[in-house]
């Protein structure tokens, strides 16, 4: 069967590998139908953490597909069910997993498509526990955006930042996969959304998603604009994933007691911070990584009720690298999806 394997720095190749054996007890066999690309794919492709990874490695960090066979004792799934899959090999037995917080698993074997083999292959077996059923009305392309794209945003906004209806939020990089999801999820509960984008075309698209105030960060200082637009009060929540370039500006955008939630640092991992500002303004800062199985199910329910992911472009598996390069170029608005 076909798979897409990473052999080294920027060296992706379509290969022919053995299909998996019949699923064992508590396992489900899935035919992968769509993958969604993430910055994790880009980091992996560029060679991050190569020393810790076994090459060649199957690419693909999030995906959806169709159940083709189930292990002898599996009752939750049957052949033909559309499903999506959790993106890491978590143990299912530690305290965090038992509490449904798989993203804090104490014995995680790694992130699929980054530390261990990923989803860019025609068939794979997964533990039933890590498979989530896709509700009717959600396409494979959309469902592929649930485990990381939508799931991460669901976890950041609602488990960590505890965003409430009517609050104000600044979403950085509204044209990114997670930024566009955050705008839609925040608008869906009646928040006032501020967002930043890098050009006028993206500004138009962000407004079309419902963003109330769109700031072109290349022509305006976003922190000045947010403070001006909120009459110097600031916003309740900042949704961060840019990192060093925006961190201090993001803190300046918060109102007293505001919350900042972050899941990324694409512009750099280190910065300095005014600690007096942190405690005097009583900011709360949340680091967020991945999501829970519950978040994925909730994200899929949102999709089924019409809150769809923004899909920038769809490529066939042969063009996975073109998709990655498109994501890397920052020309995207929304998610890049790969179909099999």
Residues that bind Zn ion (CB under 5 A): 90-91, 94, 97, 105
Q: How far apart are CA 339 and CA 318, in angstroms?
A: 9
Q: Find all residues with CB under 8 Å of 338, minimum gap 6, and list them.
A: 34, 35, 36, 37, 60, 120, 314, 315, 316, 317, 319, 320, 323
Which of 124, 120, 115 is closest to 13 using CA atoms? 120
User: Whole-number minimum distance, CB 37 to Zn ion, in Å?
Assistant: 27
**Among residues 37 and 293, whose Cβ is nearest to Zn ion?**
293
User: Whole-number minimum distance, CB 293 to Zn ion, in Å?
Assistant: 12
Which of 178, 92, 86 is closest to 124 using CA atoms? 86
Tell me how far CA of residue 112 lies from CA of 90, 229, 304, in angstroms: 11, 42, 26
User: Whole-number minimum distance, CB 104 to Zn ion, in Å?
Assistant: 8
**Among residues 34 and 105, whose Cβ is nearest to Zn ion?**
105
Q: How far apart are CA 203 and CA 198, in angstroms?
A: 8
**Among residues 91 and 278, whose Cβ is nearest to Zn ion?**
91
**Among residues 108 and 169, whose Cβ is nearest to Zn ion?**
108
User: Whole-number minimum distance, CB 116 to Zn ion, in Å?
Assistant: 15
User: Whole-number minimum distance, CB 98 to Zn ion, in Å?
Assistant: 8
**Among residues 147 and 323, whose Cβ is nearest to Zn ion?**
147
**Among residues 116 and 244, whose Cβ is nearest to Zn ion?**
116
Count of C-beta atoms within a 10 Å radius of residue 163: 22
User: Whole-number minimum distance, CB 108 to Zn ion, in Å?
Assistant: 7
CB 194 within 8 A of CB 168: yes
Which of 69, 86, 72, 74 is closest to 125 using CA atoms? 69
């Amino acid at each position: 069967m076909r798979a897409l394997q990473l052999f080294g720095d920027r060296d992706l190749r379509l290969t022919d590998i053995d299909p998996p054996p019949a699923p064992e007890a508590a396992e489900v066999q899935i035919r992968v139908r769509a993958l969604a690309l993430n910055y994790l794919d880009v980091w992996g492709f560029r060679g991050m953490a190569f020393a810790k990874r076994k090459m060649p490695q199957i690419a693909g960090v999030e995906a959806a597909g169709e159940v083709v066979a189930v292990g002898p004792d599996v009752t939750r799934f049957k052949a033909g069910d559309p499903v999506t899959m959790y993106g890491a090999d978590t143990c299912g037995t530690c305290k965090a997993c038992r509490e449904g917080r798989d993203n804090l698993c104490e014995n995680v074997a790694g992130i699929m498509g980054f530390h261990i083999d990923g989803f860019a292959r025609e068939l794979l077996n997964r533990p039933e526990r890590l498979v989530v059923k896709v509700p009717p009305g959600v396409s494979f392309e959309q469902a592929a955006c649930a485990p990381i794209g939508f799931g991460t945003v669901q976890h950041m906004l609602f488990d960590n930042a505890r965003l409430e209806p009517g609050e104000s939020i600044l979403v950085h990089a509204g044209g990114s996969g997670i930024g566009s999801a955050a705008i839609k999820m925040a608008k869906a509960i009646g928040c006032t959304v501020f967002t930043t984008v890098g050009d006028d075309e993206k500004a138009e698209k962000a407004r079309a998603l419902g963003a109330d105030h769109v700031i072109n960060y290349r022509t305006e200082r976003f922190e000045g604009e947010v403070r001006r637009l909120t009459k110097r009060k600031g916003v309740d929540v900042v949704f961060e994933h840019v990192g060093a370039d925006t961190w201090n500006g993001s803190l300046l955008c918060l109102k007293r007691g505001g919350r900042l939630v972050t899941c990324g640092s694409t512009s750099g991992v280190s910065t300095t911070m005014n600690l007096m500002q942190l405690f005097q303004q009583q900011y709360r800062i949340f680091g967020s990584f991945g999501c829970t199985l519950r978040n994925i199910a909730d994200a899929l329910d949102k999709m089924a009720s019409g809150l769809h992911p923004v899909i920038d472009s769809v490529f066939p598996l042969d063009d996975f690298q073109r998709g990655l390069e498109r994501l890397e170029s920052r020309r995207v608005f929304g998610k890049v999806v790969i179909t099999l």
